[in-house]
Amino acid sequence: MVTLDAIRKPVAEALEQLDATIAQAFVSRIAPAAEMVDYGLSSKGKRIRAVLALLAASLETPGAAVGQRALTAAMCVEMIHAASLIHDDVIDESSKRRGRMSLNALLGSHNAVVAGDYILARTISAGLERGHSDIVAHTAAAIATLCEGEILQSLHARRSDTSRADYLEIIGLKTASLMAVSASAGSLAAEAPQQRVEAMHRYGYALGMAFQIKDDILDYTACDATTGKPSHNDLREGKITLPLIAVLENSAQQRQSQLLELLCRCRDDSEAVAALSGEVIRSGGIAAAETAMQSYADAARAELEGLPDSPARSALLDLCTYTGQRER
Ligand code: FPP
Ligand code: MG
């Protein structure tokens, strides 16, 4: 079993420096703002995006510490992610995140929206104050892409005609885009050749697709206590993700209608949620989604072929395996 701790090892020191870099960026004159941001940032999550940026930078300097530019890249992508989750919980009206109350549940949606905005604003200013405008420009471009994904996703919620192509477009925008930018920002920070920056962008994108498909599988299969967020939330929100899409693709029209009718009842009927998730699992929806996820993980691995062996390369390969094995 690949562990995240082993993957983090080549950049463990840099991850500690990242804590200090983030703390420095978020010094506020206003105590309540500092408290809000503290709460929003104190449960650090897996920090996959920061790890991606640091490992991609480390590929260019094997055996040596990554520099300040890589720390800026890691800070930017991780903080964009943190802000996006705070806003996502407001949009989804979700009460739990990373095993604790979400910021909106604790302080109300209006405060959570501003806290997310504040994190984005401070991140961009801090990156510029550190003199790394190229990295800020590269990473900040992902903010608009995440918003596009969210807009598209909300247009599709509770619509019965979400196709596999629609789904892949949405997860490409809302998740894979930031993972792609995380990996490529690390390369850019380390002044890698353009070809490498592009290969790492493709690597991060494919990994991000696998990552989100796994997230959507876990929404069916994992329990709240493991993931730290409410399970079956997608069904309750009327979100059609790959496990259900795969079952719909293989069902005759009458059964499709039955399943979609069940989906309509999921918003406030927990028996409908249990019935539909059971049907999806029994009909092979999880297995089909696992197959798609593995092919993205393989595509990510292929981008690393031909690179000289190094601890960072091994960790990036392990990240592909971890993505498929993870339980939270
Ligand atoms: C989690 O997905 C959410 C995202 C991947 C992106 C959310 C993006 C926005 C809210 C746009 C605004 C962006 C910024 C930077 C302010 P999910 O809902 O599938 O996963 P979950 O189960 O963890 O909530
Ligand atoms: Mg959500």
pLDDT tens column, 37-49: 888 787 778 899 9
* pLDDT on residue 225: 65
Pocket-testing residue among 43, 84, 120, 218, ligand 1, by greatest number of atoms within 8 A of Cβ: 84
In angstroms, the Cα distances linking 28 to 32, 79, 115 are 9, 16, 12
Q: What is the pTM of this model?
A: 0.95
Tokens linked to 298: 């393989």
What 3-state DSSP class applies to 61?
A: coil
Tell which atom from ligand 1 comes closest to the C-alpha of 117.
Answer: 16
The predicted-structure confidence for 182-209, as pLDDT tens digits, reads as follows 999 999 999 999 999 999 999 999 999 9
Q: How many CB atoms lie within 10 A of CB 87?
A: 23
Work out whether the CA dihedral 70, 207, 178, 95 comes out positive or negative: negative
Smallest CA-to-CA distance from 89 within 63, 65, 108 is with 108
Q: Say how many Å lie between the CA of residue 115 and the centre of ligand 1.
A: 15
Tokens linked to 89: 């919980």
Residues with C-beta less than 6 Å from any ligand 1 atom:
80, 83-84, 87-88, 91-92, 116, 120, 143, 146-147, 150, 174-175, 215, 229, 233
Identify the bridge partners of residue 101 per DSSP, sorted by sequence position: 96
Evaluate if residue 229 carries a pLDDT over 70.
Answer: no
Give nearest CA residue, ligand 1 atom 11. 147
More confident residue, 238 or 313: 313
Residues 6+ apart with CB under 8 A from 268: none
Q: Say how many Å lie between the CA of residue 85 and the centre of ligand 1.
A: 5
The predicted-structure confidence for 70-127, as pLDDT tens digits, reads as follows 999 999 999 999 999 999 999 988 888 888 899 999 999 999 999 999 999 999 999 9
In angstroms, the Cα distances linking 96 to 59, 144, 225 are 36, 25, 11
Q: Say how many Å lie between the CA of residue 160 and the centre of ligand 1.
A: 21
Listing DSSP states for 86-120 in one string gives: HHHHHHHT--EETTEE-HHHHH-HHHHHHHHHHHH
Q: What whole-number distance in Å separates Cα of residue 137 and Cα of residue 117?
A: 17
Is 2 exposed, middle or buried, given 0-12, 13-18 or 19+ CB atoms closer than 10 A? middle
Q: What whole-number distance in Å separates Cα of residue 294 and Cα of residue 161?
A: 25
In angstroms, the Cα distances linking 48 to 30, 79, 199 are 30, 12, 18
Smallest CA-to-CA distance from 47 within 88, 94, 3, 82 is with 82
Position 327 confidence tier, pLDDT thresholds 50, 70, 90: confident
Q: Say how many Å lie between the CA of residue 271 and the centre of ligand 2.
A: 21
The predicted-structure confidence for 135-152, as pLDDT tens digits, reads as follows 999 999 999 999 999 999
Smallest CA-to-CA distance from 80 within 108, 116, 48 is with 116
Q: What whole-number distance in Å separates Cα of residue 319 and Cα of residue 313?
A: 10
Residue 205 parent element (H or E): helix 194-221
Residues 6+ apart with CB under 8 A from 265: 272
Which ligand places an atom closest to the C-alpha of 219? 1
Q: Say how many Å lie between the CA of residue 88 and the centre of ligand 1.
A: 4
Quote the distance between the C-alpha of residue 77 and its chain's center.
10
Smallest CA-to-CA distance from 142 within 193, 115, 181 is with 181
Q: What whole-number distance in Å separates Cα of residue 39 and Cα of residue 28?
A: 14
What average pLDDT does the segment 2-11 reach? Answer: 95
Pocket-testing residue among 46, 146, 175, 211, ligand 1, by greatest number of atoms within 8 A of Cβ: 146
Tokens linked to 219: 């929404």
* pLDDT on residue 296: 98
More confident residue, 260 or 32: 260
Tell which atom from ligand 1 comes closest to the C-alpha of 97.
Answer: 23
Q: Say how many Å lie between the CA of residue 97 and the centre of ligand 2.
A: 9
* pLDDT on residue 124: 97
Tell which atom from ligand 1 comes closest to the C-alpha of 94.
Answer: 24
Residue-averaged pLDDT of the chain: 93
Give nearest CA residue, ligand 1 atom 13. 84
Q: What whole-number distance in Å separates Cα of residue 170 and Cα of residue 285?
A: 19
Q: Say how many Å lie between the CA of residue 88 and the centre of ligand 2.
A: 5
Tell which atom from ligand 1 comes closest to the C-alpha of 91.
Answer: 10
Give nearest CA residue, ligand 1 atom 14. 84
Q: Say how many Å lie between the CA of residue 106 and the centre of ligand 2.
A: 17
